[in-house]
Amino acid sequence: MATRTRRVAIVAYDGAQTLDIAGPLEVFAGAARYAHRGAAPPYAVAVVAARAGRVRMQSGLTLIADQSYREVRAGIDTLIVAGGNARAATADAALLRWLCRMLGRVRRLASVCTGAFVLAEAGILAGRRATTHWASAGALARQYPRVRVEPDALYVQDGHVYTSAGVTAGMDLALALVEEDLGHATALTVARHLVLFLKRPGGQSQFSTYLAAQTSAPGPLGDLLQWIVEHPDGNLGVGHLAARAGMSPRHFARVFVAATGTTPAKFVANARIEHARRRLEESRGSLKVVANDCGFGSAERMRRTFQRHLHVVPNDYRQRFIVR
DNA sequence: TAAATTAACCGCCAAA
DNA sequence: TATTTGGCGGTTAATT
């Protein structure tokens, strides 16, 4: 396998969403940290903007761009356009021209969230399938009729152009790109490390299944915990899990508590809730579909489980994440 | 909304 | 003898 370093550039602009930049950046940086198989690091990431120096994010945070995109002509492997308040960026004719030029010179061109509007304005998405944050999907389709908008996708690939939905979807996209380059195992490792950091400060979620799966003893349960987290649908009854682990239910329950600090059913419930939370935040799939995919059997059961654990019903929970 | 059914959990004891 | 494992039954909680 070639061990050359791929250059990744993320386009920032005044009014951009910080997490659209930081999320993918951390994914590629994480890959560089955890996948040092070759001599050279797999990625070198830079933030580019209209000019090098300060860029003011939508949130007010100031970011320092490494370079002006005007100075960048070639040598970029993956180019990513962040989302946010993209008005300024879509009005920047020089940026749009530059993106068009780069389209033929990069291996992959991607957008996160409303960054799709910038690509669309540049004409890059014409005739292509694409997505954006679902709250903006309608606007994208209206403003750019030639774009084939897929509002429910997490991310969409059309040729070498990728577009992704919300903030976390941008990280999912970045992970998919890492997977293309470095394989599934590396992408999974990066995801686990990132999830750990993402979930740890989340005060209200008193317990992260990912964290538990990550930090659990590497004994025979380690694989099982991971399997649970990755297969929220499917039979996760105590008896079935015990059989998978090759123990009697009684013994399994004891070992499980000793290893994780929780009981099997609670762990499973938490894993399913975490999955459902993400799905509710990022997709518009019906409650019924989400409930099924996350192993709740029925929307009614998911509703009660949410009520019990989060003190919110799924629909209300989802409402909180609508960006207006 | 209430009652019946089912699943999970845990203490305890016995077998390995 | 000490530790690990498995089974039984009662209690509690969740589901239909």
Beta carbons within 10 angstroms of residue A187's beta carbon: 22
A303 touches strand B (CB under 7 A): no
Nucleotide nearest to A301 (CA to C1'): C15
Confidence of residue A150 (pLDDT cuts 50, 70, 90): confident
A247 touches strand C (CB under 7 A): yes
A238 touches strand B (CB under 7 A): yes
Confidence of residue A124 (pLDDT cuts 50, 70, 90): very high
SS3 A154: coil
Among residues of chain A, what percentage have pLDDT more than 70? 86
Separation between Cα atoms, residue A128 and residue A146, nearest integer Å: 8
Among residues of chain A, what percentage have pLDDT more than 90? 43
Average pLDDT on A315-320 reads: 76
For strand C, the positions having any atom within 7 A of a protein Cβ are 5-8, 14-16
Give the residue with minimal CA–C1' separation from C4: A251
pLDDT digits over A201-235, tens only? 322 233 333 444 444 445 667 778 878 887 888 88
Each as own residue / partner, the long-range contacts of residues A270-273 (CB below 8 Å, 24 or more positions apart, any chain) are A270/A207, A270/A208, A270/A209, A270/A309, A271/A209, A271/A228, A271/A229, A271/A232, A271/A236, A272/A232, A272/A296, A272/A305, A273/A305, A273/A306, A273/A309, A273/A310
Of A88-92, A152-156, A162-166, the poorest mean pLDDT is in: A152-156
Beta carbons within 10 angstroms of residue A310's beta carbon: 16
Report which of A315, A293, A281, A306 is spatially closest to residue A19, judged by C-alpha positions.
A281
pTM summary value: 0.66
Output the distance from A5 CA to C12 C1' rounded to whole Å: 58
For strand B, the positions having any atom within 7 A of a protein Cβ are 7-12
Amino acid at A11: V
pLDDT digits over A244-298, tens only? 888 989 999 999 988 888 889 989 998 898 888 877 876 777 888 888 888 998 8
Quote the pLDDT of residue A321.
56
Separation between Cα atoms, residue A180 and residue A161, nearest integer Å: 14
Average pLDDT on A91-105 reads: 94
Output the distance from A301 CA to B3 C1' rounded to whole Å: 19
Separation between Cα atoms, residue A164 and residue A173, nearest integer Å: 6
Separation between Cα atoms, residue A292 and residue A297, nearest integer Å: 5
How far is the CA of A31 from the CAs of A2, A164, A188, A250, in angstroms?
A: 15, 20, 10, 40
Residues written for chain A = 324
| H helix count then E strand count, chain A | 15, 11
Confidence of residue A193 (pLDDT cuts 50, 70, 90): confident
Average pLDDT on A180-209 reads: 56
Average pLDDT on A99-124 reads: 94
Confidence of residue A38 (pLDDT cuts 50, 70, 90): low
A265 touches strand B (CB under 7 A): yes
Confidence of residue A308 (pLDDT cuts 50, 70, 90): confident
Quote the pLDDT of residue A210.
40
Quote the pLDDT of residue A37.
64
Average pLDDT on A65-78 reads: 91
Give Cα A209 to chain centroid, integer Å: 17
Higher pLDDT, A285 or A64: A64
A297 touches strand C (CB under 7 A): yes
Quote the pLDDT of residue A214.
47
A266 touches strand B (CB under 7 A): yes
Quote the pLDDT of residue A203.
27
Confidence of residue A123 (pLDDT cuts 50, 70, 90): very high
Output the distance from A291 CA to B12 C1' rounded to whole Å: 39
What does DSSP say about strands A43-49 and A67-68: parallel, antiparallel, or unpaired?
parallel
Q: DSSP assignment, residue A98? A: H
